[in-house]
Amino acid sequence: MAHNLGGKTLSSKMGANALCEIIKKDRPTLSTSILIRPSESAPKAALGAQWVAVSYRVDGYEPITPTKRFQDIQTGLSFLAYQPSYTAALELKKIEIIQCASNKNYGMSAQFGTSKKSIVITEYGVTKSCSFATSLTKGAKQTIVIKKGTSLRPGARISLVTIGLTSIDIKKIIAGLVRVPIQ
C-alpha cells in the first residue's frame, strides 16, 4: 500500500509540475508552489460532491489574452490601435511599441504565427505616420490599410505583411480589424 501511495504522490507531483509549466509559459514571473495533502485535510466539498483522487487548484491565475495585450499597448499610443479579430488561427507571438527611425514617432507591431505562415501588423497614427517602405521576404505580401479615428484621437495607418496566407484570409483579417478598447 505504501509503494502504491508513493507512486500516486509522484504522479500527482508530475501532473502539478506540468500544470505549473503551462502557466509559467504565459506568466513567467508568477510564483508557483505545489502542496500534496491527504484527502482528509482537503476543504469540505459541497453537499453531495466528492473529492477525486487527484485535483488541482490554481489561485489568482488569469491568462493574458491577446485582447489584454493589445489594450496594454494601446495605453502607450496617441492614436487608436486596431486588433485583428480574425488571425487565420495564428497565435500572437509578440507585440511591442516601436519607434519610427525617420521621424521618431511611436507605433506598434504585432506578430502572429510562424516563419511559414505569419502576419506582421505594424501601426502608426495617420497624422504622424512612418514609411512602411521595407524589403519583403520572398512570398510576403504587404497591404496598407487606413482606419478612421475620432475627434479626440487620430486613426491608424496599418501595414499587414503576410506570408503563406490566401487572399481570402487577408481580406478576412482586414475586415476583422477592430479598434482596441481603451481601458
What is the model's pTM? 0.62
Averaged pLDDT, groups of 10, the chain, 183 residues long: 59 78 72 69 66 59 73 75 91 87 82 91 79 76 85 82 94 91 64
Closest by Cα among 172, 105, 161, 169 to 138: 161
CATH class of the domain comprising 66-179 = alpha beta
pLDDT computed for residue 89 by the predictor = 93
Q: How far apart are CA 27 and CA 23, in angstroms?
A: 6
- Let me know: does 173 contact 86? Beta carbons within 8 Å: yes
Q: How far apart are CA 123 and CA 177, in angstroms?
A: 12
pLDDT computed for residue 79 by the predictor = 76
Q: How far apart are CA 71 and CA 162, in angstroms?
A: 23
pLDDT computed for residue 3 by the predictor = 47
Q: Where are the domains of the chain?
A: 1-61, 66-179
Q: Beta strands 106-113 and 118-125: pairing type?
A: antiparallel
DSSP-derived 3-state class of residue 163: strand
